[in-house]
Amino acid sequence: TQLLEQSPQFLSIQEGENLTVYCNSSSVFSSLQWYRQEPGEGPVLLVTVVTGGEVKKLKRLTFQFGDARKDSSLHITAAQPGDTGLYLCAGARYNQGGKLIFGQGTELSVKP
Amino acid sequence: NAGVMQNPRHLVRRRGQEARLRCSPMKGHSHVYWYRQLPEEGLKFMVYLQKENIIDESGMPKERFSAEFPKEGPSILRIQQVVRGDSAAYFCASSKDNSGANVLTFGAGSRLTVL
């Protein structure tokens, strides 16, 4: 049973397009994190959202945590080839901060 | 200020051999986590350790796998009598504490191939 459903699994778009990646669960999380992973490397943290309804922006990336703290989204505006990579969402349960539950990942390819 | 250091980066073993993966956490971090990434699957939690203690090993296979984080030296993930299904990328992460908004820093991973 996958506790965090991430969609879509694969996304191939043209440079300049917008996209949204979704991370959904029936479970409540104390926080949710988004990572980006390059081939042959470990995940690198992009953002942590903690409060229900929270929105955080990182340049062209907008992250949102659902009001009920069960879901999250990542929106990229005007995607660039440098955004290509694997995006992972991960949820932390209360009192289990480092024991993250990861989604399956979204493989993003941005073509010039 | 080095990040999380893992070695070896790549390891090839034949079935039945032992694999030892090492992880040195970031300076100032005393919490270490091991995750496994199987082909076509997401990262899965294996074990959480603090110095000299295993805190949570709920994600560890019951047999052949063990982990330690001694008082001195790196954390070690040990896989005995490896099988082909153990082929995966093994990631170590470290943190300062285990709070809900915890920030984990991941290493680059050790990629184990079992022939």
**What mean pLDDT do residues B90-100 have?**
84
Give the separation between CA A15 and CA B1, rounded to whole angstroms: 36
Could B91 and A42 be called an inter-chain contact, meaning their C-beta atoms sit closer than 8 Å? yes
Residue B96 — pLDDT band, cuts 50, 70, 90?
Answer: confident
Tell me: the pLDDT tens digits for B30-55? Answer: 999 999 998 778 899 999 999 889 99
Lowest mean pLDDT among A95-99, B63-67, B97-101: B97-101
pLDDT at A73 over 80: yes
Q: Which residue has the higher pLDDT, A93 or B64?
A: B64
Beta strands in B1-115 (DSSP E): 5-7, 10-13, 19-24, 31-37, 43-50, 53-56, 65-68, 75-79, 88-95, 105-106, 110-114
C-alpha A31/C-alpha A48 separation (Å) is: 7
| Chain A interface, best mutation among B26, B43, B92, by max A CB count within 10 A | B43
Q: Do B43 and A104 touch (CB under 8 A)?
A: no
Which has more confidence, A3 or B70? B70
- In terms of CA atoms, which chain B residue is nearest residue A2? B42
Of the candidates A62, A64, A54, which has an alpha carbon nearest to the alpha carbon of residue A19? A62
Confidence band (pLDDT; 50, 70, 90) for B102? low
Nearest residue in chain A measured CA to CA from B57: A99
Q: What is the pLDDT of residue B100?
A: 56
% of chain B beyond a pLDDT of 70: 94
Which pLDDT score is estimated for B41?
A: 80
The confidence score (pLDDT) of residue A1 equals: 55
Q: What is the pLDDT of residue B1?
A: 52
Give which of A56, A100, A104 to mutate to test B binding, by max B Cβ within 10 Å: A100
User: A15-66, pLDDT tens digit by residue?
Assistant: 999 999 999 999 999 999 999 999 999 999 999 999 999 999 999 999 999 9
Burial class for A110, CB neighbours closer than 10 Å (0-12, 13-18, 19+): buried
Q: Is it the case that residue B101 has pLDDT exceeding 80?
A: no
For A87-102, what is each residue's pLDDT tens digit?
Answer: 999 998 887 768 899 9
Q: What is the pLDDT at residue A98?
A: 82
